[in-house]
Structure formats: structure tokens, C-alpha cells
Amino acid sequence: MLSHTPVMPKEALELLRLPPGGVAVDGTLGLAGHSLLMAQALGAQGHLIAIDRDGTSLGQARLKLASLELKIDLLQGNFSTLDKILASLKVSAVDGILLDLGISSFQLDDEKRGFAFRHDGPLDMRMDAQSGLSAADLVNTLKEAQLEKIIFEFGEERFSRRIATAIVMHRAQAKITTTKTLADIILRALPKGYTRGRIHPATRTFQALRIAVNEELEALSLGLEACFRMLKKGGRFCVISFHSLEDRLVKNKFKSLAFEQEGLILTKRPLVACDEECAVNPRARSAKMRGIERVG
């Protein structure tokens, strides 16, 4: 059974403040790290609804949650359509919702998924491996200007033009089908001095393509609205993001809800993981957690 360490679990449970016997949603189930803790807080009379786009995650999570007594619904889907998902379960409102927007370490470590360049594998990057366009589809078919826009906006990569040009030049000779091939193209496109840094120089481009492939920002924008509307009055919504694009969307949506006097922001500044957690779980370093309570 695969393992995964949830980010800021104690802080998430404190923010959510789930009532025993309540109903809660884990909109990004992953390997059930947060869901296990949410289930414990809800108790045997509670109802946990857990959603993930990744069928492999669902299968692993089902094994981990199998021994729990409370009512559990595990569903493959996207939190952006939470209103429809809850309607299908005949649930009108919930006490708490958690979104952990990070990609799971087991997904990064699986070379067949193509999310990372540490291992050579097919250039895929789809959360739901059974549907949609892959990263290979994008890099081999999009126009140069479209690639540049994706890499610049979603990866915040200042050399997006050079990288897009290099991709188009390479694919004119041969299709780009593996993570190693793409990483090598990116490295050759960048100035030599740029390759010396804290993160691998291909990181931003890979992030940009993953976001584009899975339409992550569109899903988040829709999901923030859908999730908040499914809260009971007094219900709480907690979001953990891992890069500035996500955090900006969350911050602005929560500010808008507070301005409209529909929500009470629970985190004036985003919560971050302590040094001890970061030492044990390095992926927590970039995590930011924000919370809001429905009052209107």
C-alpha cells in the first residue's frame, strides 16, 4: 500500500473544526492522509465524502479507509463540480470542505505518469489518465505563441519564449514523447548561468504544462465558488495551495466573499508549515493554507 504524508494536518483540522456526526468533503483525496484525520474528527456517526480525479489514488485510499465505521462515499471526479456530486448523493450542504491542491509524491515518483523529469517516462501529466489531452499532445501540436503563453503564465518562466522556440524546432525533426527529451530541450534553450539555481531549470515549464493539461486554474476558480456554496451556515472551507497562482485565486475569492459579508476569513495571513514539518516533509515548504467560514 502506498504511503503519503499530509501537509499541515493539525492546522487543517483546527481550521475545519468538524463537528462529531457532521458531514465533510475531502475534495482532493489523494492517498487519504487528510481524510483519515477528518474521519476521526467526524466519528462513527459522521459522513465523509472523498473525491479525486485519479483512479489509482481512489483505489489506494479505499484500502486505507476500509476499516472505518462512519459512512464514506468515495468518488472519481473533480471538486469543481461539487454541487452536482453532492446532489447525486442527495446531500444539500456540508459542515466542512478541504482542498489540498498539491500533486502527490506517489504521482511524481511514478515515471509512467510523466509528471516529473527525475525519471524518464512518457510525457503524460494527466490526473485522470483515461481522459483529455496529454502533455505530449500539447507540446507537439500547439502553436509556438500558445506554448510561450502557457509557460510564461502558468510557469512564471521568464525564458518562456526561448523554451517555446526550442520545443517547436525540435518537434520539426522528431516528436517529443518523453520527460527526459523535454527536460533536455529546456536545458539547452536556457542561458548557461540560469541552470545554477535552487530548483531544476525545467521545473517551471513542467509545472506550466501540468496546469494546462489538467486545467487546474479553471477547476480551482469554479471549485472555490462551488465548494463555498455547498457549506452550511457556520461551515468551514480550507484550501492548501503550493504556488502563487493558486494562492492568489484563493486569497482573492475569500476577500470577495468577506467583502460581500458572506464569509469570515479565518486566516489573515496564510498558514505555513513549521520548520520541524518541513524537515520531515520537504513538500510542505511551499504550502500555504487559507480558511473561511460561511456566515451569510
Where do the domains of the chain lie? 9-106+216-294, 111-214
- Indicate the length of the chain as a whole number: 296
How confident is residue 114, by pLDDT bands cut at 50, 70 and 90?
low
Which residue has cell 509545472?
Answer: 207
pLDDT class for 105, splitting at 50, 70, 90?
A: low
The answer to whether the 9-106+216-294 and 111-214 domains have the same CATH topology is: no
Residue 69 has pLDDT above 80, yes or no: yes
Does this model's pTM top 0.85? My answer is: yes
- For domain 111-214, give its CATH number from 2.60.120.10, 3.40.309.10, 2.30.29.30, 1.10.150.170: 1.10.150.170
Those residues with Cβ within 8 angstroms of residue 203's Cβ, 6 or more apart along the chain or in another chain: none
pLDDT bin (cut points 50, 70, 90) of residue 58 is confident
Q: Cα angle at 199 between 33 and 124, to 5 degrees?
A: 60
* pLDDT band at 104; cut points 50, 70, 90: low
Contact 48, 24 (CB under 8 A): yes
Q: How far is 49 from 71, CA to CA, in rounded Å?
A: 8
pLDDT at 148: 98
pLDDT band at 36 (very low <50, low <70, confident <90, very high): very high
- pLDDT band at residue 258 under the 50/70/90 scheme: very high
Which one-letter DSSP state was computed for residue 153? H
Q: How far apart are CA 95 and CA 237, in angstroms?
A: 9
Calculate the average pLDDT of the chain: 90
Q: 288 or 127: whose pLDDT is higher?
A: 288
CATH superfamily, domain 9-106+216-294, is Vaccinia Virus protein VP39 (3.40.50.150)
Which pairs with CB-CB distance under 8 Å and at least 24 residues apart come from 267-271?
267/15, 267/291, 271/8, 271/11, 271/15
Residue that has been written with the C-alpha cell 468518488 in this structure? 75
